[in-house]
Amino acid sequence: MNINKYYLIPLFCCALYSCSDEPKEVEQVQEAEQITQLPMQTMALEDLQAFKPEAKNWSVVGSIYADRAKEKTFVSEPGTGILLNTPSERVAKDNLFTVFEHGDIELELDVMMPVGSNSGLYFQSRYEVQLFDSWGKDTVDYDDIGGIYRSYDPEKEVDEFAGAGPKINASKAPGLWQHIRVVFRAPTFDSDGNKKTNALFEKVWLNGVLLHENLEVPCPTASSAFNDETGKASLMIQGDHGPVALKNIEYKIYGSDQLQFSDVAVTEYKQYENNHSRWLPSIDTLTVDSTFTADSVSSLLLNGSAAKMITYKGKMVVSTAGDYLFEMKINWGAGQFIVYKDTLLNLDGDYNAGMPQYAELTLPKGEVPFTVVYSKSRAYQNGFSVSAEGPEIEKHEITAASSLSKGKSRKSPVIELEVADEVVLQRGFVYHKGSKKTHNIFIGLPEQKSIAFDLSSSSLLQVWGGDFVDVAPMWHSRGNDQIGKPLGAVVASYGGPDFAALDNDNSVWPDSIPKSESFKQIGYSIDEKGNPKFQFSIEGSVITNEFESTEGVRSIKRLITASIKKEIWHKVAGGAVIELLPDGSYAIDDKAYYIILSETGSNEAVLRKSGGKDELLIKIPVGESEINYSIIW
């Protein structure tokens, strides 16, 4: 960020807005990637300095492994980056408290549970999001991972708060990293200390699945550190129940400060021609209609329905110096938001209607001059907004709330494709790691396990447990997106071709099917159990893929049969880190899921590094071969 800059957010804007008291120079800045939110604070886990020092059962380690054959058992290696709790009667089993205190907070972290273990995240040391090994449970309650724990008072017959179980069981297997994200609102109090609002879990996600929304908690939950309620307190991690590991702890703490506009002077310009233009007209060609002052910045100050332009000048009151991110939205037309420093930074470029534009800058404490320019080019489509976030300042609109019409909030429908006693197949598009895959089939197995398979490359894309697919984006209204949305916690594979002809063991794996290779889809058939078998040919070899559900747990088995004329390789998995664990399984992509290889005969597995990432490959020799392995999550 550059302190000595003007900042400008243009929307559908090419012509320079100019006045005699404003700089003529415009510095063009090209950004590789648009920043849409300020970064969170990262908790450095090189030691325990971010925490209060009482807890002796906590340490920082470099790697962790949960022995799935034993309860509550971790094996760790020295290093940094992972917070580990190993409670014991001999040493200690204390809770851990952060040095920082929070009111409203957004928190994200990764957590790992060993078999049968139990812990919890206590917001303000009082309100618990449960951590538990809930893998494989058919029904879940407040005491399962992601649940909001109940209150407990032995003198009361009924708890003041009964707790809330997660909407679905989104838990992963013991020893895998699970991602938690929470937006928490602290209770509020009046000047006399009387509580005005309860603590609120605005949103709680586990492994990408929304478990709770706007859940009020009227009192501290069981095993909290304190029985009273307050505006600020430490985050507490429970340490007296069982082992737990955490990493990638990030947070944003929010106060009550907001940016404000003051001393707003308004100039309204008369109607101009070309009322469908999405560009700012030159101010020198326009005639002033009226000038006045206002107590806010709003598009509603524009009179009439014709194409007009309006400018707002005033001061932006900054209560806290620091880095800020501004967002401007516009409903057709054009606009600029300018903050004055020494020069002008122009974030220029194409703008799609309704999409926001962003700019970062560092602001001093005090009053900072600003200008907002807005050109309404259509009679019945108008409005704009400017929003900001900054140091301990949550994103908020600094223009009037009515300046940009939000329209009526309509909740998107869910059309769930259900799976009963038979396998269900559904064609459709799917998002995989941010890109749209178009030639896919969803496979719903009766045991509540699902698969997304790419037919264009015979690649496994995703697996998940729980409900099958939301097909509303395909079937509702026009179904423009054609996307099938998995209804569980998705585990994504690497997503490229699963089979390739390599020259040798060190050849780079292709990111798409090479044109030189003869790759052809043969089609698929359905066996007597309703399971599909997908066949394709590559370099004259014929390969068949099929998937089966394993009993009881969240896992599937992949079976590959091959009739090979020229040596072919199969990429079982790829990721940042792949580890061969002591129990013989492979932990894929930094412990996102497990692969357990069955006996493969002459088909030896190769674990290698390529392009900075790990790959698990199997060589398929000439002749007839069978390969099968389990995917566990």
Q: Which tens digits make up the pLDDT trace of 295-310?
A: 999 998 887 767 888 9
pLDDT recorded at residue 280: 77
CA distance 248 to 532: 40
Which of 534, 607, 535, 617 minimizes the C-alpha distance to 568? 617
For residue 21, give the DSSP letter: T
- C-alpha distances (whole Å) from 442 to each of 297, 528, 630 are 49, 19, 19
pLDDT recorded at residue 8: 56
Which of 471, 490, 491, 492 minimizes the C-alpha distance to 481? 471
- Name the pLDDT band for 276 (thresholds 50, 70, 90): low
Q: Which residue, of 397, 429, 464, is where some domain finishes?
A: 397
Mean pLDDT of 496-515: 87
pLDDT recorded at residue 159: 84
- Taking all residues of the chain, what is their mean pLDDT, rounded to a whole number? 88
pLDDT recorded at residue 487: 94
Lowest mean pLDDT segment, chosen from 25-29, 59-63, 338-342, 548-552: 25-29
242 and 281 share one domain = no
- Name the pLDDT band for 10 (thresholds 50, 70, 90): low
- C-alpha distances (whole Å) from 66 to each of 77, 248, 519 are 12, 18, 41
Kind and range of the H or E run holding 206: strand 199-206
pLDDT recorded at residue 628: 93
480 falls within a domain:
yes
606 falls within a domain:
yes
| Strands 532-538 and 519-526, bridge-based pairing | antiparallel
Residue with the two structure tokens 């917070």: 83
Please determine, for residue 63, whether its predicted confidence score (pLDDT) is greater than 90: yes
| Strands 593-597 and 623-632, bridge-based pairing | antiparallel
405 falls within a domain:
no
- Name the pLDDT band for 43 (thresholds 50, 70, 90): very high
351 and 375 share one domain = yes
CA distance 183 to 126: 15
204 and 63 share one domain = yes
338 and 424 share one domain = no
Please determine, for residue 481, whether its predicted confidence score (pLDDT) is greater than 80: no
The answer to whether 27 touches 346, Cβ cutoff 8 Å, is: yes
Please determine, for residue 617, whether its predicted confidence score (pLDDT) is greater than 90: yes
The answer to whether 589 touches 578, Cβ cutoff 8 Å, is: yes
Mean pLDDT of 237-260: 96
CA distance 83 to 172: 19
Please tell me the chain's helix, strand, coil percentages from 3-state DSSP, rounded to the nearest 5. 0, 50, 50
226 and 330 share one domain = no
- Name the pLDDT band for 3 (thresholds 50, 70, 90): very low
370 and 445 share one domain = no
Classify the phi-psi angles of 479: left when phi > 0, otherwise alpha if psi is within -120 to 50, otherwise beta.
Answer: left
- Supply the DSSP string of 406-421, one letter for each residue: -----PPP--EE---S
421 falls within a domain:
yes
527 and 538 share one domain = yes
- Name the pLDDT band for 6 (thresholds 50, 70, 90): very low
404 falls within a domain:
no
Torsion over CA: 360, 363, 367, 368 (sign): negative
pLDDT recorded at residue 357: 84
Q: Considering its fold, how many domains does the chain have in total?
A: 3
pLDDT recorded at residue 21: 39
Mean pLDDT of 557-573: 94
Highest mean pLDDT among 108-122, 352-366, 518-532: 108-122
pLDDT recorded at residue 306: 75
pLDDT recorded at residue 33: 59
128 and 19 share one domain = no
* Statement: the pTM of the whole predicted model exceeds 0.85: yes
410 falls within a domain:
no
432 and 514 share one domain = yes
Residue with the two structure tokens 């003529």: 24
Give a three-class secondary structure readout of 55-70. Answer: CCCEEEEEEEEECCCC
Indicate which CATH number applies to the domain containing 162: 2.60.120.560
Q: Which residue, of 253, 288, 323, is where some domain finishes?
A: 253
Within 446-484, strands assigned E span 449-454, 459-465, 469-470
Which of 398, 371, 382 minimizes the C-alpha distance to 312? 371
408 falls within a domain:
no
- Name the pLDDT band for 340 (thresholds 50, 70, 90): confident
442 and 548 share one domain = yes
609 and 492 share one domain = yes
Mean pLDDT of 460-466: 95
Indicate which CATH number applies to the domain containing 493: 2.70.98
475 falls within a domain:
yes
Instruction: Kindly report, residue by residue over 13-24, the tens digit of the pLDDT.
Output: 433 333 333 332
Please determine, for residue 354, whether its predicted confidence score (pLDDT) is greater than 80: no
32 and 124 share one domain = no
Instruction: Kindly report, residue by residue over 413-453, the tens digit of the pLDDT.
Output: 899 999 998 999 999 999 998 889 999 999 999 989 999 99
Mean pLDDT of 193-210: 97
Indicate which CATH number applies to the domain containing 263: 2.60.120
Which residues constitute the domain of residue 452? 416-632
Q: Which residue, of 196, 219, 253, is where some domain finishes?
A: 253
Q: How many helices (H) and strands (E) in the chain?
A: 1, 46
Instruction: Kindly report, residue by residue over 403-424, the tens digit of the pLDDT.
Output: 987 766 567 789 999 999 899 9
